[in-house]
Amino acid sequence: MPFLALITRNVLTRRVRAGLTGLAVAMAIMTVVALGVLTHSLRRTAISVLQTGSADFTVAQKGVSDVLYSSLDNSQVARIKAEPGIQSIVGVLVAAIKLDSSHPFFLELGIPPDELAPFGVQILKGRPYTATATNEVMLGWRASQDLHKNVGDVINIDGNNFTVVGIYSVGNVFGDSASMLPLTTLQTNERKPGNVTLAFVKVTPGTNIDALRKRIEQANPEVATVRTQSEFGRVDRNLSLISAANVGITIMALIIGAIGVMNTMVMSVFERTREFGVLRAVGWTRARVLALVMGEALLISFVGAMAGVVLGYLAIRGIQRVPELVGVFQPDYTSAIFARALGIAFGMAFFGALYPAIRAALLVPMEALRHE
């Protein structure tokens, strides 16, 4: 009989208990998966704002709750531009609007036409807008395909009609799924004259980027510079709060699941003391007894985790139906989230079963055999 068959048999012998434990694991994993997908999707949406152009790093207002609330004025951008080592700095006003229910998060980037080149924009078709045009827009090539709008077409954005004058590429998904229009036009429409959201910095070759960032932050205490995704929390506190809550709840789910598994396995080991005595008496090693108990916990957790992943997926489908969130929240299922769920289920089984398994392995065969 294969060892796995014995493990399965033992778990199925106590199927109600195993089922309930598996259910507890499933609920914990469901929470982890649903929250993970939610957080990841929000993060991706937020990160997209930072990755619309090519830059060595980005400057934003420090400590705002959402990166879209960041506000830098012309004088700040000018001051930063004066730092040595900066090749170009492009101030961009970013606005996120809802085009329609299938495009709930559409980015408008306000950039003066003469800064398109330093921002890394390539015109694929048509021409750039003029600096003061109030009804000209360029679409990223992905947005153009997605919205079925080409050069010469008219598009309604936030109540205003714009003519598509060009199709561009910036070489990244987020930028290419957005739109660009003159900075002054967007500033007027958004009622933010003289303000930009972010400044995208390119350095002259050979510049020490981190030293430059430090100088900028020292000279301008109200701004933060961001180079990698992990630094994003510096300019988007909501996101860092959500991420922290995600980590905290994940750890709690792990602990709760592990306690559930432990309770079940301790009970099981106690009831089966005599059985372990028999197994040791017929020559089982301590290691094999340990593996048996661990294996049973792992099997229960693994099946629970599978159910949890399915439940998590259904929970996200449910969240998507919440009227306020229809279309806004676009779930992003990454394999990393599922791998993490499995890892957590493994952790529950391991930490939950460790104590009972060791207890079972350390039983003195003779005493275990005498146990009623």
Partner 1 sequence: MSDAGAPGPIIQVTDVVKLYDDGLVRALDGVTMSAARGEFLAVTGPSGCGKSTLLQLIAALDRPTSGSIVVEGRDLREAGNDTYRRTGIGLVFQLHNLLPNLTALQNIEVAMFSNGHSHGEQRTRARELLDAVGLGAKEKVTPPRLSGGERQRLAIARALANRPPILLADEPTGSLDSAAVDRVLELFREIREREGVTLLLVTHDAHVASTADRIVYMRDGKIVAAPEADVPAAAPAP
Residues forming the site for partner 1 (CB under 8 A): 1-3, 6, 9-10, 13, 274-275, 277-286, 288, 364-366, 369
Smallest distance, Å, CB 283 to partner 1?
A: 2
- Identify which of residues 12 and 241 has a Cβ nearer to partner 1 in the complex: 12
Min. distance of Cβ 233 from partner 1 in angstroms? 52
Could you tell me which of 118, 120, 158, 117 has the C-alpha nearest to residue 137?
158
Least separation in angstroms between residue 313's CB and partner 1 is 35
Q: What is the per-residue burial (b if ≥16 Cβ within 10 Å, else e) of 22-56? A: bebbbbbbbbbbbbbbbbbbbbebbbbbbbbbbbb
Q: Which CB sits closer to partner 1, 106 or 276?
A: 276
Place of tokens 């598994």: 261
Would the CA dihedral through 42, 47, 52, 58 be positive or negative?
Answer: positive
- Which of 209, 181, 177 minimizes the C-alpha distance to 92? 181
Q: Which is nearer to partner 1, 62 or 286 (CB)?
A: 286
Q: Shortest Cβ distance from residue 14 to partner 1 (Å)? A: 9
Strand 136-140 relative to strand 179-181, pairing: antiparallel
Nearer to partner 1, 7 or 86 (CB): 7
By beta-carbon proximity to partner 1, the closer residue of 13 and 130 is 13
CB of 281 to partner 1, least distance (A): 6
CA-wise closest residue to 245 among 28, 38, 25, 30: 38
- The answer to whether the CB of 65 falls within 8 A of the CB of 341 is no
CB of 295 to partner 1, least distance (A): 12
Work out the angle between the directed axes of helices 286-321 and 237-271 (0-180°, nearest 10).
140
- CB of 44 vs partner 1, minimal distance in Å: 48
For residues 216 and 219, give the distance between their C-alpha atoms in angstroms, rounded to a whole number: 5
Residue type, 221: P
Rg of the chain, C-alpha, whole Å: 29
List phi, psi (to 5°) of 163: -100, 130
Q: Residue 107: what are its φ and ψ, rounded to 5°?
A: -95, 135
- Alpha-carbon gap, residue 108 to 160, rounded angstroms: 13
Report which residue type is found at 20. Answer: L
In whole angstroms, how close is the CB of 1 to partner 1 at the nearest point? 4
User: CB-wise, 289 or 341, nearer to partner 1?
Assistant: 289
Our CB check for partner 1 shows the closer of 10 and 301 to be 10
Which residue lies nearer to partner 1 by CB, 222 or 271?
271
**153 close to 204: Cβ distance less than 8 angstroms:** no
CB nearer to partner 1: give 155 or 291: 291
Residue 363 CB, nearest approach to partner 1 (Å) = 11
DSSP-based three-state secondary structure for 169: strand
Shortest reach from residue 357's CB to partner 1, in Å: 17
132 in Cβ contact with 184 (< 8 Å): yes
Sign (positive or negative) of CA dihedral 137, 139, 144, 146: negative
Specify the residue, 11 or 92, whose C-beta has the smaller distance to partner 1. Answer: 11
